[in-house]
Amino acid sequence: MPGNAKTLTDQDAHEANAQWGGRFAGGPAAIMQDINASIGFDKALWRQDIAGSKAHAAMLAKTGIISGEDARAITEGLDQIGHEIAAGMFEFSTALEDIHMNIEARLSDRIGEAGKRLHTARSRNDQVATDFRLWVRDAIDGLEQQAAALMRALARRALEHAATPMPGFTHLQTAQPVTFGHHLMAYVEMLARDRGRLNDARRRLNESPLGSAALAGTSFPIDREMTARALGFDRPTANSLDAVSDRDFALEYLSALSIMAMHLSRLAEEIVIWCSAPFSFIRLSDAFTTGSSIMPQKRNPDAAELVRAKGGRITGALVGLLTVMKGLPLAYAKDMQEDKEPVFAATDAATLCLAAMDGMVRDLTVNEAQMRAYAGSGFSTATDLADWLVRVLKVPFRTAHHVTGRLVGKAEAKGVGLAELSLAEMQEEEAGITQDIFSVLSVDSSIASRTSPGGTAADNVRAQATHWLDTLGAQK
């Protein structure tokens, strides 16, 4: 952010005392300044603070609480301050504690007495609650769009690899053949739920605390509906105590980010595994890998590893804020100043993770031959054999499971795949088996047979990828 917070001087102490008025005769101790000031991080709220103040000034004028002339001077002064901050010309003062006091003091310097009327009928408590909701709302809108972009990237790659076989795993052991496209579409579904959670959080937070004042409301004849509309809120909050002390919106937002970060971490872990030499399913270019300081052959998937790691930091932000809030009585307490840093940090991390994952999904190249070879390993079509016994011979599934298990044991003992057993060897375990059994033991036949809704058959994958690309408004 532009500008730097200046250190405390005698003049600053005088300014701080002037802001507080007659109650305090002396300035704060240096350590009090250090622990109390939040301008080092809450200056990130400057756009939201100016927007809230402009809406408040317009309402004060409309209700006759201040004059139209003062409101115009306030609005013009706030616009000028916004230009100063954006240009990096604004000098933030630690002595003035936070973004709200910094902007208000600068406004009074610029326009005189009119600037001192701005804080009528509001408190920093409802001011910061409003600013913070506006900031989180903006962050949700940005992250929701990033998540949609990653969904499009995944769906495009899924369409490209709708029929590319790969091993499907349970317990990280080969289970059944699937397609790479089907695997990628699983993450599209996860991200769709993530976007839903972000949008739900946005809907619930979209109420305006402005006008709740410190905790009890105000005796001035304010119009909270007017300020709520001006700031794009659906309505004002219903209870002034709750409005200034609530941080559910930040917790819900961090919760949604934590779940999304967990999803991204799972995909990042798979990318790390797929890039490793024993698998070699995919390759990332130099754009998303790094080398080793000692081993010249190394190509490390560091971008994926860092996405995986940042998930822990995002979850930590949620746990941290829950811990801050869990013991606070109503209404506001200074503990709640600790709400912004974890939210800001988690947002930065989530933004970076989504961008990095989008880049890796677009960048990776697929080793189709290696994927296909592994797709047929580990007796991955054993379930197809059991299903054939049920479907064709009408054998109960549990019996078919045991027969297939014995055939797997026989093949394993010989060091061959199921399809390499002879018909006679199979008939030793189940006399009714015919030559037709071999038609279901290939990787391609296994994948093609999984046509149930949500299954891995290539046509299913193509249809689902196309559906999401159409829904997201993407060019295929």
Long-range contacts for 189-193 (Cβ within 8 Å, ≥24 apart)?
A: 190/263, 191/147, 191/150, 191/151, 191/154, 191/260, 191/263, 192/151, 192/468, 193/259
**Is the backbone peptide bond immediately before 192 cis, with ω within 30 degrees of 0?**
no
| Full DSSP string of 45-66 | GHHHHHHHHHHHHHHHHHTTSS
Q: DSSP secondary-structure letter at 381?
A: T
CB 216 within 8 A of CB 242: no
- CA distance linking residue 302 with residue 327, whole number of Å: 39
Catalytic residue among 292, 377, 439, 467: 292
- CA distance linking residue 176 with residue 383, whole number of Å: 8
Spell out the residues 6+ positions from residue 242 whose beta carbon is closer than 8 angstroms to its own: 330
- CA distance linking residue 76 with residue 354, whole number of Å: 38
- CA distance linking residue 346 with residue 353, whole number of Å: 10
Spell out the residues 6+ positions from residue 219 whose beta carbon is closer than 8 angstroms to its own: none
Q: Is 255 a catalytic residue?
A: no
Q: DSSP secondary-structure letter at 233?
A: -
Spell out the residues 6+ positions from residue 446 whose beta carbon is closer than 8 angstroms to its own: 176, 177, 380, 381, 384, 440
CA 324 to chain centre: 21
**What CA–CA distances, in Å, run from 138 to 191, 198, 209, 375?**
19, 11, 17, 44
Task: Name the residue with tokens 């940090």.
Answer: 345
- CA distance linking residue 336 with residue 325, whole number of Å: 7
At 234, is the secondary structure helix, strand, or coil? coil
Q: Is 171 a catalytic residue?
A: yes
- CA distance linking residue 228 with residue 226, whole number of Å: 5
First to last CA, the chain: 38
CB 159 within 8 A of CB 469: yes
Spell out the residues 6+ positions from residue 243 whose beta carbon is closer than 8 angstroms to its own: 126, 129, 207, 209, 212, 237
β-sheet bridge partners, residue 138: none
Q: DSSP secondary-structure letter at 235?
A: E
Catalytic annotation, residues:
171, 292
